[in-house]
Amino acid sequence: MNDKSAFRITGRMVFFGLVAFFGVIAAVNGVFMYYALDTFPGLTTEDSYRKGIVYNRTLDDAAAQKRLGWTSNVDVSDDGMVTVTMTGKSGLPLSGARASVALTRPLGDETTLQIELKALGEGRYQGAFAAPMPGRWKAEVLVERGGDSYRMRHEVMVKE
């Protein structure tokens, strides 16, 4: 029998096999860590502890708003006007309310642009928005009429 043709596992093979195995694991973990840290936007809610304490009130407010049945739509025109269109529970335009919108960037910039809207009639409210930069913006609409209030978040795209 020829002993040289038989396959034998040596200590050197085991050592390099273990180094290669753990090297692949470390490389994959490094790639995962890079993408996890690169895509994490950071803290998304300010004062989360206090908001957690009053969560039941938040749920009650959401239920009251749902009973109102109001809906909103936000549009930013090319000439820099923000238009909020409100409809009531019956689907008819919601007029006679006071409306405002707070616009913020979704990531990074902490600046909030608060805009008071003027009623145009037919459930439309409008105000000027001088966007410092184009792109995606979060618009938080606040509408109050009588003792009722409505708050909704929308995303809008601001063109150059």
As given in the structure block, the two tokens for residue 112 are: 């909030």
Domain hosting residue 93, numbered range = 69-158
In a domain, 22, yes or no: yes
- For residues 29 and 35, the answer to whether their CB atoms sit within 8 Å is no
> What is the rounded CA–CA span in Å between residue 25 and residue 109?
37
Q: Using pLDDT thresholds of 50, 70 and 90, give the confidence band for residue 42.
A: low
Report the pLDDT value the prediction gives residue 16, as an integer from 0 to 100.
97
Q: Structural domain tally of the chain?
A: 2
**Positions of E strands within the chain:** 71-76, 81-87, 98-104, 112-121, 124-128, 135-145, 148-158
Residues 141 and 82 both lie in one domain: yes
Question: What is the domain-level CATH number for residue 130?
Answer: 2.60.40.1940
Residues 6+ apart with CB under 8 A from 127: 81, 82, 101, 115, 116, 117, 118
In a domain, 57, yes or no: no
Residues 75 and 120 both lie in one domain: yes
In a domain, 93, yes or no: yes
3-state helix, strand, coil in the chain (%, to 5): 30, 35, 35
Predicted TM-score (pTM) of the model is: 0.62
In a domain, 19, yes or no: yes
Report the pLDDT value the prediction gives residue 3, as an integer from 0 to 100.
57
In a domain, 85, yes or no: yes
In a domain, 129, yes or no: yes
Per-residue pLDDT tens over the stretch 63-88: 988 999 999 999 988 888 899 999 99
